[in-house]
Structure 1
Amino acid sequence: MNKGFNEFLRLLTCKKRRIDFYKGKFAYRNEYENENGNWENYGTALTWAYPFWKKTVKKTTTQNGFINYTEIKSEIEVIKNTMHNNV
């Protein structure tokens, strides 16, 4: 449970990057990464029905974290202590 909570917290606070792969105007693959010192893949979505004969174009979009960790650090510690005390 602690590992899952930490992963969720990292997803909310870290910078994220989405890489879209296009064949023509059709987005056939999306990769999602978050920054943890370096870029780490946490998901890929793709489809098999795409125009494979067209040239592949890659478009990258970067987004900052939704919440600044330093602003919610005290609340996070309270939640973690509550998780550990209710075992």
Structure 2
Amino acid sequence: MSDFKLWGWDKKPRTMLRFIKAGDIFCFKLDEQRYCFGRIIIKIFIGHVAELFDNISNSPDISEAEIKQARRLIEPVILDM
């Protein structure tokens, strides 16, 4: 992975689907206390293909170092639009 820029989750409340692109890092709630992270790999005609990382956190924040060390948890999945 080359250099990239991390934006805080509070940069804006929501991103429109048309602005999601390969390389984008995302976060989602696993349960009431834990967060998971992933990365968009590519956009295809039925959605976006993403990989989910093995990094689970009590906070929705992740560092560049944590992303670089993260491993893929499962095979890539298609996220429907």
TM-score (norm 1): 0.24
* Higher RCO (C-alpha 8 Å, min separation 6): 1
Structure 1 or 2: more helix by fraction: 1
Structure 1 or 2: more strand by fraction: 1
TM-score (norm 2): 0.25
